Structure 1
Amino acid sequence: MTGARRKTMTHNHPARSRAQLTCSAVRVQRGETVVLDGVDLTVSPGSRWAIVGENGRGKSTLLQVLAGLLTSDEGRVQRIGSLALATQEMPDQDERTVGDVIDGHLAAARAALRELDDATAELADGVPGSDEKYSAALDLVQILDAWDADRRVDVALEGLGAQTDRTRPLATLSVGQRYRVRLAVLLSAGDDFLLLDEPTNHLDLSALEFLTSRLRAYPGAVVIVSHDRALLSDVADTLLDLDPTRDGLPRVYGGGYAGYREGRAAERDRWEHEYAQQQSEQTRLAQDLSEAQNRLVSGWRPEKGTGKHARATRAGSLARAVHRRQDELDRHRITAPTPPQRFTMPELPAAPGVTLVRTDQVQVDGRLTDPVDLSLDSGDRLVITGDNGTGKSTLLAVLAGTLEPTAGQLHRARKARIHLLQQESRHPLHRRARDVYAAHTARLVTAGLLRADEVLGLSALGLLSSREQNKPVGDLSMGQQRRLDLACALAARPHALLLDEPTNHLSITLVDELTEALGATRAAVVIATHDRQLRRDVRTWPTLTLAAAVTTRSVPRS
């Protein structure tokens, strides 16, 4: 069963109000690695669930378990009703046409209409028992909303910007185009449970808005795996968090995305408080033990003239005190696991009254056709938006000084430190992350851009664990490489921080922490992004929208 086909479980037809999808105590293990453990989930008709967590936490695996494509090592899964699953992967070799995909997903609706036609004919001919057959066929057609099935598909294809030519072979479509075709038919088929893995991939803004509206209006239940905070905020009412917790078990948060953020923050605060308390108690008990041992070695000796019996008695009591403190220390071992790191934004410098960079009618042939006038002062904020290909990344490179404009003028303050976080990581894959960071900061010091006493240790930023720092860059996940890129950008202590799609590959928690930090820093910040939630979070910032047409556009000063 591939992700491009509809997976129906238990019943061939929707069960509607009787539909059920539950799992209890689900555990999945691969070799010595526990992928999922202690997962409990009850998806009721009409509910909207989201599964969140860092890369590698088992989100996609859980969808496959729910769909019945993967059997868990422990636990129980129950499915009643029809179910459709869309995975992230799309098959490379597929000889079907767009119409074949639509026909496959609407097969139940087509069969129900044929059965109704047959029952109608028999009823007209007075065939015995035809009235019951007709009533059952009509009920099924109404449950499936079969009369409207093809129209729903056409609307969804248009809304998602998918290929509408039903004779078009899938093999001639891009991965994104095939994905949108599949998503359109799944949204239209009307299954009891719709399971979607990162459904916002390959969608532009209008398609994202259409998807959001359809998921909110979907007649069945929806379970999505996504890092798209806007989708989570607009659709999900309950979130299952697979990230680490104090007891190692997943957490369920109600109240939508806002409830998840509040609950997750409270959970993390409790975890850190408990860990700190246990550490403090462990330190105190260890100190008590050390003092008791010191007394046993030297402090028990009485003054000269004291009898041997008194000395022996005192020695025994001190030894017993040492044993008591050792037992107490053993009983109070630290049971709370080490909490995950928090991102710590370094203090970035301000240069009050200084214009850090200014452009006058700047253009780059073939890449930035819209002449840009802007002035970025210390502490300014700016969001750059525009369709793909309008030159957002190019403009950031010009501002950073890594790309020369082919027209117009660029003026930069002589001692201004301006650093660009690019979309793609460019570090040597064979070098350890900590060595890459150390070499980067050393170059900054050598170039006179940073004083030696300004260099931050990589651990101080809370972006990579010690274990991750010791890995070659090529062994890091995309999210971890992105964290290393961010660390290098912040290490420069820039007066102006330029960020190109900064939320790419980052966890929800880190994005929230980074967004808050960017709003508070004294440095100037420029963001180019399509991230809908990030744009909502910085909606009060001045905005520069780039267009393909050659027009002059000035940036409002903050």
Structure 2
Amino acid sequence: MLTMNAVTVRLGGRTILDSATATLPPRGRIGLIGRNGAGKSTLMKVIAGTLDPDSGSVEMPKSARLGYVAQEAPAGQGTPFQTVLAADVERAALMVEEEGHPEPHRLAEIHERLIAIDAYTAAARASRILVGLGFDEAAQHRPLDSYSGGWRMRVALAALLFSQPDLLLLDEPSNHLDLEATMWLENFLKTYRATIVVISHERDLLNNVVDYILHLEGGKITLYPGGYDDFERQRAERLAQLASAREAQAAQRAKLQDYVARNSARASTAKQAQSRQKALARMQPIAEAVSDPTLIFNFPSPQALKPPLVQLDQASVGYDGKPILQHIDLRLDPDDRLALLGRNGNGKTTLARLLSGQLAPMEGTKHAPGKLRVGYFTQYQVEELDSDDTPLEHMSRLMRGANPSQVRAQLGRFGFSGAMAEQKVGKMSGGEKARLALALITRDAPHLLILDEPTNHLDVDTREALVQALNDYDGAVVVVSHDRHMIEASADRLVLVDAGRALEFAGSLDDYTDSILGKGPPSPEGSRSKANKKDDRKAAAAAREASAGLRKAVKDAEAETARLTARIAEIDRALTDPRSANASDAHRPASDLMRLRGEADRALESSEARWLAASESLDAVSA
């Protein structure tokens, strides 16, 4: 059992954890969640013992072995296989002692303990873990220094899993993984027989692996039973209860204040008024649920282009004259939603660069309209942002010739309005930087949006906002992601990049997951004939064409509803406080304002009816 008792941590004058208290069940699998910057990693460090709290304590059984990935990736001439084997410190020490030929009694104890900790199958277990995380037999025996930092962090994760601690602490373990390794990790954690605390923004992992959600908000932690979907439901119910309680408290407070105001001066009721005044002072306000206005992604709609946007015919692509992918036949139409599958290193990014125009085909052909605009997002763009500049300065440089209001409008589409547009990038979170990079690459309303791992550093709520924005976007989307929920929610075509080819995957993402976990054979093209694929493409194109008009009708109705709502608010302001009204309304007679309000109300009702009808029709077409 793990208990956190009133843990308080202050960093840089800011309270990160404020008397955080919770008791975690033994052998529980706990998902630690919260918005970016809430303090999840800080709490994890306190649990791991690498950060001392300002007050409070963390208690756990003294004999419990704790496992936590260090921030620095392993390096040197040792191999991944050697590094993982060495992670089981007890096994390594016993093996060294055994080789020293101790006296018979001690040797018997060593053998007994080695058997108990399953030491003689260690090599096979280490290899299985490394294979699951993407290291084939040859890769397991290359020096660590030959790998990038991301791959060496995979070795650190493999070593942690191999050591089998009683308390396993994982801080966003899938950040350095591809989809395939993420699937393997999820499957591994499902069967892990000890306590797990994992910080993750992967909705599928939080639903499929954990049995409790520990939610960190405002420095406080709350434990919810179940996975992420269960948490969302319980959280919504709790917020509704808080809102109801807050309304009841406000009514009670108003009643007490009214009594005090009416009866304080009377000698006969002064004592009762004082009593109620004390009750008012003791009444703790119930916090109002705060919505985050920065959860905004709104991709500008491009002008229509005739299909196809991109056509690849027997194309090959690579570097320095050496092809990475060959014989690619691929077509992208407006409003296509495509996900690229395949392990890291198989060529997904190479294909994305070919589609974006950063690479030209070495053989074969690529056809694309001259007016095609492409927005291409990579993590490198996030890392290359100038930390001393503001979002406004970044956008102004790229939108030369645009007036300030146009620049701010594009930033506002992604939540950078007002003062947020003028903060230094160096003070922004990773999620905010990713949002800024997306704002920058979509400034000219691209027809094709290519996103290479866009969800790194985004919390669950922000990922969901991104998915919603992609579904509303009128252009084509190509996505590379290890977030299975994002792929399922935003892609309707799968392309498997593997063994030098890029082929349509006929099955679902679940079929692909089964093939990765050894539950079924991979089937890039299945048994579908070319005629069937042509029919599928025609049907998909017809569905997109049918839904395009409906989506426009929904957007138009939403815009009209927002305009009319704002207009009604202006009229109401003119009726109640003419001094704060706009110039044209301030001097209108009240009768004119009431007539205008009636007209606006009727128009709003009509607009809402159009929105509802268009939304229902769109849902029917999409079903």
TM-score normalised according to structure 2 size: 0.61
Are residue 70 (structure 1) and residue 41 (structure 2) matched? no
Report the Cα distance in structure 1 between the residues aligned to 2:48 and 2:170, rounded to whole angstroms: 11
Q: CA deviation at 1:75?
A: 1.8
Q: Are residue 258 (structure 1) and residue 229 (structure 2) matched?
A: yes
Matching residue of 1:39 = 20
Match of 1:419 among 368, 375, 378: 375
CA contact (8 A) 1:356 1:376 kept: yes
Give the corresponding residue for 2:194.
220
- Decide which of 37, 49, 60 is 2:30's aligned counterpart: 49
| Alignment partner, residue 199 of structure 1 | 173
Alignment of structure 1 residues 107-118 onto 2, 5 Å: 107=90
Aligned partner of 1:457 in structure 2 is 409
Q: CA RMSD in A?
A: 4.7
Q: Distance in 2 between matches of 1:455 and 1:89?
A: 38
Q: Which residue of 2 aligns with 1:297?
A: none
1 CA distance for matches of 2:498 and 2:460? 30
Q: Write the deviation string for residues 349-369 of structure 1: whole angstroms up to 9, x where unpaired.
A: 476782151324244442663
Deviation, structure 1 residue 205:
4.9
Is it true that 1:156 corresponds to 2:117 in the alignment?
no
Between stretches 192-201 and 509-518, larger displacement belongs to 192-201
**CA displacement 1:53-107 (0-9 Å, x = unmatched):** 3444322222222133332112232111413222242366779886587456251
Could you tell me which amino acid in structure 1 is paired with residue 391 of structure 2?
Answer: A
| Residue aligning to 2:592 | none
**What letter is aligned with 1:233?**
N
1:382 aligns with 2:382: no
The counterpart of 1:501, out of the listed 453, 466, 470, is 453
Contact 2:455 2:463 in 1 (8 A): yes
C-alpha distance in structure 2 between counterparts of 1:438 and 1:162, whole Å:
44
Q: Which moved more, 1:178-187 or 1:500-509?
A: 178-187
Preserved contact between residue 74 and residue 156 of structure 2 (Cα < 8 Å): no
- Contact 2:375–2:448 at 8 Å: present in 1 too? yes
1:322 maps to: none
Q: 2:446 aligns to what SS in structure 1?
A: coil
Identity within the alignment, %: 30
Look up the match of 1:84: 66
Decide whether aligned partners of structure 1 residues 172 and 264 sit closer, same or farther in structure 2, where only a CA change above 3 A counts. Answer: same
Q: Match of 1:430?
A: 388
Amino acid corresponding to residue 456 of structure 2 in structure 1: N
Question: Residue in 2 aligned with 1:238?
Answer: 212
Q: Aligned pairs, how many?
A: 467
SS at match of 1:35: strand
Contact 1:357 1:410 in 2 (8 A): no
- Alpha-carbon deviation of 1:230? 3.6
Asked if residue 211 in structure 1 is aligned to residue 185 in structure 2, the reply is yes
Q: 1:544 to 1:332 in 2, by over 3 A?
A: same
- Which residue identity lines up with residue 338 of structure 2 in the other structure? L
Looking at structure 1, the residues matched to 244 and 118 of structure 2 have their Cα atoms a distance apart, in angstroms, of 54
Match of 1:23 in 2: 4
Matched residue, 1:544:
495
With over 3 angstroms needed to count, the CA separation of the structure-2 counterparts of 1:106 and 1:158, relative to structure 1, is farther
Q: Give CA deviations for 1:178-229 in whole Å, capped at 9, x if unaligned.
A: 5445444543444321122233354455543443233211221111123344
Q: Secondary structure at the match of 1:424?
A: helix
Distance in structure 1 (CA, Å) of the matches to 2:348 and 2:240: 38
Q: Distance in 2 between matches of 1:188 and 1:516?
A: 38
Instruction: Give SS of 1:250's match.
Output: strand
Contact 1:88–1:198 (8 Å) recurs in 2: no
> Which residue in 1 is equivalent to 2:572?
none
Whether the aligned pair in 1 keeps the contact of 2:22 and 2:221 (CA below 8 Å) is no
Q: Residues 229, 95 of structure 1: CA spacing in aligned structure 2 closer, same or farther, 3 A cutoff?
A: same
C-alpha spacing 1:150/1:455, structure 2 compared with 1 (3 Å): closer
Q: Give the corresponding residue for 1:476.
A: 428
Is the contact made by 1:192 and 1:220 (CA closer than 8 Å) also made in structure 2?
yes
Find the aligned partners of 1:152 and 1:64 in 2 and give their Cα distance: 28
Q: In the alignment, which of 105, 126, 129 is matched to residue 88 of structure 2?
A: 105
Q: State TM-score, norm by structure 1.
A: 0.67
Q: Which has the higher helix share?
A: 2
Q: Is the 8 A contact 1:350 1:522 kept in 2?
A: yes
Question: Residues of 1 paired with 2:85 and 2:35: CA distance?
Answer: 34
Partners of 2:209 and 2:419 in 1: CA distance: 36
* Bigger shift: residues 54-63 or 43-52: 54-63
Distance 1:63 1:227 in 2: 15
**Structural mapping, 1:365-404, within 5 Å:** 365-366=318-319, 369-404=325-360
Bigger mean CA offset, 166-175 vs 50-59: 166-175
1:406-452 CA-to-partner distances (Å, cap 9, x unmatched) read: 44444444555443333422544432112222443455x59xxxxx9
1:393 and 1:171 mapped to 2: Cα distance? 23
Taking the aligned partners of 2:482 and 2:353, their CA distance within structure 1 comes to 18
Q: Which residue of 2 aligns with 1:293?
A: none
Partner Cα distance (1:402, 1:40) in 2 = 51
- Tell me the CA shift for residue 381 of structure 1: 1.9
- Tell whether 2:332 aligns with 1:358: no
Cα shift readout 1:355-395 (whole Å, capped 9, x = no counterpart)? 15132424444266334333333322222333434543344
Q: Indicate the SS of the match to 2:471.
A: helix
Q: Which residue does 2:292 correspond to in 1? A: 340
Is the CA contact (8 Å cut-off) linking 1:382 and 1:525 kept in structure 2? yes
